[in-house]
Amino acid sequence: MKVLLLGSNGMLGPWVSDALKNDHEIIETDLEQISTNTNFKKIDISDTQPVIDISKGVDAIINLSVLRTDRVLAFDVNAKGNLNMMLAAEENKIPRIINTGPHFQAAGPSYENFDFEINPDIPPQPGVNLYAITKALGQEICKIFTEKNSYMYLQTLLFYNFYNDSLTLGGRKNVGKPPQQKGTDLTPFSIRWEDAAMAIKKALEIDLDKLPSRTETYFVFADLPHNKFSNAKAKKQLDWEPSFNLKDLWDRS
């Protein structure tokens, strides 16, 4: 497939590119080019027409873009960026849309008192955190467009904390830092970068006719012993299995 990556230079983008590049034609987009980019085009996701133009002829769009802190920019990227992605999908009749975000864009503070097997099909309650609420607004925009256009299929993968090959929290820039201590208390949404990227690849390649609906959401994280949230849907529906359980961090034995 010909796949457009929006926000390819974020922390997850290079891992997704690595996972896809041998099997798909990728167009990587962001505000600045970096050394790992291939077939790169400079795109501001908050600018509607360039997003529409770069989407012509692609089979799928994967949105990895995010901005967390600035009120105006967070809205422009997290909400308006999703609007522009969906306008592009509508204009160019693109059926496969994969959106990403933090788990709390769906499972915000109101779910913190629940402690067992929370699944991704819960009614979304992101709360009032700027990051969460702008991402949740963008997600609602995606859902509305998908419901309006019968050829569209929207899959949303929700993550949170990512670990690298030295079991250090953070991106590739942090590989040189010391690993975390054994027995670290991990957030329920902890995962290795490779497993996160593979889940996105599985979502991209799934037979759309096998999806139960045209809007599907997944919680994506390693197999951890907390049981507060459930990754069962991602495993069953996408035929995805995390390769790393991060046991070297959470096991105190």
pLDDT of 97 reads: 98
Residue ranges of alpha helices (H) inside the chain are 13-20, 48-54, 71-74, 81-92, 130-148, 193-205, 232-238, 247-250
pLDDT tens readout for residues 131-141: 999 999 999 99
Do residues 85 and 47 make contact, with C-beta atoms less than 8 angstroms apart? no
pLDDT of 166 reads: 84
pLDDT of 173 reads: 63
pLDDT of 144 reads: 98
pLDDT of 172 reads: 65
Q: Assign domain 2-250 to its CATH architecture.
A: 3-Layer(aba) Sandwich (3.40)
Low-confidence ranges of the chain (pLDDT < 70): 172-176
84: tokens are 């522009």
pLDDT of 179 reads: 81
